[in-house]
Amino acid sequence: MIAVIAIDGPSASGKGTVAKAVAEQLGFYYLDSGALYRITAYCAKQRGISELEESRLNAMLQSLFIEFKHHEVYVDNHLVSEAIRSEECGQLASKVASLKLVREALLSLQRGFCRPPGLVADGRDMGSVVFPEAILKVYLTASPEVRAQRRYNQLINKGISANIMNLLQDIIERDRRDQTRTESPLIQLADAHYLDTTALSIEESVSQVLHWFHDSIQ
């Protein structure tokens, strides 16, 4: 059996940073499932497909060649790592992510990341739908204000101007959409460890997840 660590949580909670560091320390593969929904949104926009056209989105996904290599994301051999990170793409991603056919189209792709020696997967439904057999499930969150501040710092460090109140509003809106949709909503599972990183450093969060992982394989 391949060990899977599922880390779910709301947007900008820091789960990507924590999941990547945990994967690195354990020598595991890493799946950024949010990137797949962002790619769907980005490619749909490029092709003039709206978030209401479920079957066109599904057909589009069947034809895309998505690759993650050397910490970069490629679609049909084009580098899209930066382009899919915009706030606009995140908002559109959360709209296409509510569609059943889109989620189904991405399911086998996500499961394909599960290879020995193990996988750390981050998203919204890693523990509930994609890898329900995960050996460790974590629900990682932080207060909306801290998440907005972290996103603000990230953007400013990249030289992108940002407004913290707009970021906070976007985060609250995306949380609501992700938590209230019918298809695979973001929920805190009964068998998931709860990790509130509001007052924790990245190192403290990483070491807590590693501690739970070592406990779970004893």
158 within 8 A of 25, measured Cβ to Cβ: no
Q: Binding of ligand C5P at residue 9 (CB under 6 A)?
A: no
For 149, half-sphere exposure in the C-beta direction (CA atoms, 13 angstrom radius) is 7
Tell me the C-alpha distance between 97 and 81, whole Å: 19
Among 6, 19, 21, 38, binds ligand C5P (CB under 6 A): 38
Q: Whole-number minimum distance, CB 59 to ligand C5P, in Å? A: 20
Q: Binding of ligand C5P at residue 150 (CB under 6 A)?
A: no
- Please tell me whether the peptide bond between 117 and the residue prior to it is cis, using omega within 30 degrees of 0: yes
Among 42, 60, 90, 195, binds ligand C5P (CB under 6 A): 90
Beta-carbon neighbour count of residue 67 at 10 Å? 11
Part in contact with ligand C5P (CB under 6 A); list of ranges 56-64, 91-99, 143-151, 194-202: 91-99
Beta-carbon neighbour count of residue 51 at 10 Å? 20
Q: Binding of ligand C5P at residue 37 (CB under 6 A)?
A: yes
Q: Binding of ligand C5P at residue 205 (CB under 6 A)?
A: no
User: How many chain residues interact with ligand C5P (CB under 6 A)?
Assistant: 14
Tokens of 96: 């296409």
Contacts with ligand C5P, residue ranges (CB under 6 A): 11, 33-34, 37-38, 90, 93-94, 97, 123-125, 174, 178
